[in-house]
Amino acid sequence: MDLGNLTLFKAMTQRMSWLGERQKTLAQNVANADTPKYQAQDLKPLNFGDHFASAGKLQMTATQPNHLAGGGDASSFTAAVDKTAPISASGNSVSLEDQMLKVSSTASDYQLTTELYRQHLAMLRTALGKN
């Protein structure tokens, strides 16, 4: 059974990928906290309404080994300049306190999503009679 075909697991996997990418972006912000004119960035939030709305659409199936898979890569996330961050005299907009709060929140969200993933796997194992 491929869990990637189940909408819920696909959504949780995408969420964990987004959270991992966000941690990288926030770490880059912290690393550039003293760089003049560096603008703090953050990832555009995921819209799960769009994800589940497209879940009912039919996907193309490759019937021959030389067929190409259709569609784009859904794992690419876009980073944007954080317009809400205050700008210092050097033109830098990184607030270490703000970045640490975002890092902590992202880590908590990742832990929650991982636990949900684990619980849903356990539920599937129980339903299939495999403990």
Length of the chain equals 131
Whether residue 129 is predicted with pLDDT greater than 90 in this model: the reply is no
pLDDT tens figures, 33-85: 999 999 999 998 887 666 555 555 556 666 777 766 655 444 478 888 888 88
For 77-121, write each residue's pLDDT tens digit. 888 888 888 888 889 999 999 999 999 999 999 999 999 999 999
Cα–Cα dist 10/6, whole Å: 6
Domain regions of the chain by residue span: 3-128
Instruction: Tell me the pTM.
Output: 0.73
> What mean pLDDT value characterizes the chain?
83
Adjacent-strand bridge partners of 71: none
- State the pLDDT at residue 17: 94
